[in-house]
Amino acid sequence: MKRCCGSSIGVIIRDEHGRYLMIERGWWPVGHAPVAGHVYDQHADPVAAALAEVEEEVGLTVVDLKPVLGPVHLPNLCASLPAEPTPGHTWWVVEATVTGTLRPAEGETKGARWYTPGQVQALAQRTIDHARGVVGTEEFTAHPGLEAVWIDLLHRASHLEVAEEDLLAARELYTAPPPEHWLGGRR
């Protein structure tokens, strides 16, 4: 059985208008999020993972990277069996400048688009409302907000304003186990 490697890279990509590139995740955890992926499952380091994940998920080429956060450990769970001995992920977050034509990966994503800062804030609020029970699971799955761990990461990277009680609500979501674990192989 394949266990999570316990490491993740997040890549914040903004365009010349200040909009954020977000994918809609193709599998659990549900939500919109910047490009992200595991580091030490297939990559030598966070930089190599950032370059590969951007190409893989959205078909763009990174021309510049700027570290903005990490390493920082968060107890967020993914679809794989949890890392041992400490569940969660050590995160690195970078800001990237990219070139190319946006080509979201089928399966890995349900699409990608550019969001204004206000739209990202609205996605975060939808997730917080889901965490508080205002938006039900079925409705949230059909029309998701921001992937819960990204509320924390974007806040830590100074890209999102979030109250402490809302961070705690998001944490409740991102520490919950998946409905079923991915055990390796093709999705």
pLDDT over 50 (residue 183): yes
The predicted pLDDT at position 187 comes to 45
Class (C level, CATH) for 7-174: alpha beta
Q: Please name which of 124, 137, 114, 106 lies closest in space to residue 167, comparing C-alpha atoms.
A: 124
Query: pLDDT tens, 8-45?
Result: 999 999 999 999 999 999 888 999 999 999 999 999 99
| Element spanning 171, H or E | helix 164-174
Query: pLDDT tens, 47-87?
Result: 999 999 999 999 999 999 999 999 999 999 998 889 888 89
Give the Å distances, CA to CA, from 37 to 5, 26, 54, 77: 11, 13, 9, 13
d(CA 115, CA 118): 8
Query: pLDDT tens, 135-167?
Result: 999 999 999 999 999 999 999 999 999 999 999
pLDDT over 90 (residue 2): no
pTM higher than the cut 0.85 = yes
Residue 61: CB atoms within 10 A of its CB come to 12
d(CA 67, CA 95): 6
Sequence-ordered list of residues with C-beta below 8 angstroms from that of 104, at least 6 positions apart, any chain: 23, 57, 58, 59, 111, 112
